[in-house]
Amino acid sequence: MDSADNSKVTKRHTGRDRVEAGIVATAVRIFAECGYEGTAVAAIAEAAGLSKQNLMYYFPTKQALYERVLDDVLDDWLARMETLADPAGEPADVLRAYVHAKLRFSREQPAASRVYAMEMIGGAKIYSEQIKRRVVPLLRRDIEIFEQWIAQGRIAAVDATHLLFALWAMTQSYADFSAQMKLVLGQDELTDADFEHAEQLITTMVTRTIAVD
Amino acid sequence: MDSADNSKVTKRHTGRDRVEAGIVATAVRIFAECGYEGTAVAAIAEAAGLSKQNLMYYFPTKQALYERVLDDVLDDWLARMETLADPAGEPADVLRAYVHAKLRFSREQPAASRVYAMEMIGGAKIYSEQIKRRVVPLLRRDIEIFEQWIAQGRIAAVDATHLLFALWAMTQSYADFSAQMKLVLGQDELTDADFEHAEQLITTMVTRTIAVD
DNA sequence: GTCTATACGGCGATAGAC
DNA sequence: GTCTATCGCCGTATAGAC
């Protein structure tokens, strides 16, 4: 369970951990591009540089690999997010940092974001229990912090739950809907400048939304 | 191409059109739930009440059916959206109507929204040409209208492109991420009240964002 | 641990009778 | 237009040699 052991110092299982990490890294990309059913284990194996049968020595089933991919996605995302919400901090600063971190995740790990999004859109048939355990409590805690701020008159009285949904949606979309954005912008890729403009606009929206009159 | 002929008055092809419409309506739901590759043609056929082979008489290939589904999704969405953007109208009113219409689409046609979203997340490998032809021009026109408003000083000077992306993301997410929202809210379904709160929050955000100082 | 070979099922698509 | 029958491929998973 404590599989977030990426340090090169650790010697135990070095070989196996390295191989697994390589497989997972490749699998994230292909699952994101083709979806769960659309992905062939053989395609992941080939891209990762081993045989299909050898891959299935490390991950006995396709679903096991898929769940491991989602585990790692959550590990990465939670590690970036857990320190952020500080009830005592200045709300505008906290929210700015929140937007920045979430947008950075969309920028740096778009495949991770997309795999998670596809699982959600399909109704989280495989992974809903993990989401309930690991994600929902954090989101509820964030909502509570927003509501404390409102009760203390530190931000305007808006719907805290839907404010969080809005934050999530706006930042997430720069990974999930980048294909459409690229078409609108007439670009092959989203650039650093695009992400800076996005961050500025979203931050502006949030700041003006929570400003007390 | 001019397949948007739903009037019951039209007698030609009545039988065939009815059957096709039934198939498409069923297919939208199943594609949304299982994805393109995860969907078996036989599953659609059974749910629609005919044999797989008979379905393939109406739609020769799975991909043809899928494209038809996306065509109909776009038809519905465009019909709801095309009359909205009015450069002469009051910006706040236009944007309120935009949010209302898009959110209503997420409420009434979540499956349609999800099929479209899944196609986008996967990189629009099948449907990007249609999106380029039918969607992108409309989005660009909306962005231009926002920029006119800014040039005229009728709304605050924000990034028009990313404002549109934000609008799209926030409204879309109530269809695409409803699974996660339901988990956070602890509800089996999103209710009318949830959508009203969403609309109020999003409208508030947009209104405060565009307000001139 | 890695490879070869193969079992097994599911699915898209086609052919042809009625 | 609808049905029965079937082909052929692909993909997961397993067995067993090295």
Task: Please give the CATH superfamily to which domain B69-210 belongs.
Answer: Tetracycline Repressor, domain 2 (1.10.357.10)
A57 touches strand C (CB under 7 A): yes
Residues 6+ apart with CB under 8 A from A125: none
Residue A24 to chain B, least CA–CA distance (Å): 18
Does residue A56 belong to the interface with chain B, where contact is any CB pair within 8 Å? no
Residue closest to B120 by CA, chosen among A100, B43, B112: B112
Q: Which residues in window 44-63 of B are less than 7 A from strand C by Cβ?
A: 52-53, 56, 60-63
What pLDDT shows up at residue A83?
A: 85
Q: What integer pLDDT is reported at residue A30 of this predicted model?
A: 98
Using pLDDT thresholds of 50, 70 and 90, give the confidence band for residue B6.
Answer: very low
Which residue type, as a one-letter code, is found at position A207? T
Averaged pLDDT for residues B145-166: 98
Q: In angstroms, how far is D13 C1' from A64 CA?
A: 13
In a mutational test of the B interface, the residue from A125, A178, A184, A204 whose CB has the highest number of chain B CBs within 10 Å is A184
Q: What does the pLDDT read at residue A82?
A: 85
Domain boundaries, chain B: 14-64, 69-210
**pLDDT exceeds cutoff 70 at B207:** yes
Give yes or no for B32 touching A (CB within 8 A): yes
* Half-sphere exposure of residue A40: CA atoms within 13 angstroms, side-chain side: 7
Percentage of the residues of chain B whose pLDDT score is greater than 70: 93
Selecting from 1.10.10.60, 1.20.120.80, 1.10.10.10, 3.30.1490.190, what CATH number does the domain B14-64 have?
Answer: 1.10.10.60
Q: What is the pLDDT of residue A189?
A: 98
The class of domain A14-60 in CATH terms is mainly alpha
Mean pLDDT score, B5-15: 50
Q: Closest-CA residue in chain B for A158? A: B201
- Closest alpha carbon to B75 in B11, B21, B8: B21
The pLDDT, as a whole number, for residue B12 is 52
Residue B213 has pLDDT above 70, yes or no: yes
Fold match between domain A14-60 and domain A69-210: no
Which residues of B, range 123-152, sit inside 8 Å of A by Cβ?
A: 123-124, 128, 131-132, 135-136, 139-140, 143
Cβ contacts of B201 on chain A, cutoff 8 Å:
158-159, 162-163, 166
Can you give the pLDDT of all 213 residues of chain A as single tens digits? 344 444 333 444 568 899 999 999 999 999 999 999 999 999 999 999 999 999 999 999 999 999 999 999 999 999 999 888 899 999 999 999 999 999 999 999 999 999 999 999 999 999 999 999 999 999 999 999 999 999 999 999 999 999 999 999 999 999 999 999 999 999 999 999 999 999 999 999 999 999 997
Q: How far is the CA of B21 from the C1' of C12 (A)?
A: 22
Whole-angstrom distance, CA of residue B175 vs CA of residue A121: 8
Closest alpha carbon to B28 in B124, B112, B94, B97 = B112
pLDDT greater at residue B89 or residue A15: B89
Segment B12-37 shows an average pLDDT of 92
Separation between the CA of A138 and the C1’ of C13 (whole angstroms): 48
Q: How far apart are CA B143 and CA A198, in angstroms?
A: 15
pLDDT surpassing 70 at residue B80: yes
Phi, psi of A126 (to 5 degrees): -95, -35
Nearest nucleotide (C1') to the CA of residue B58? D1
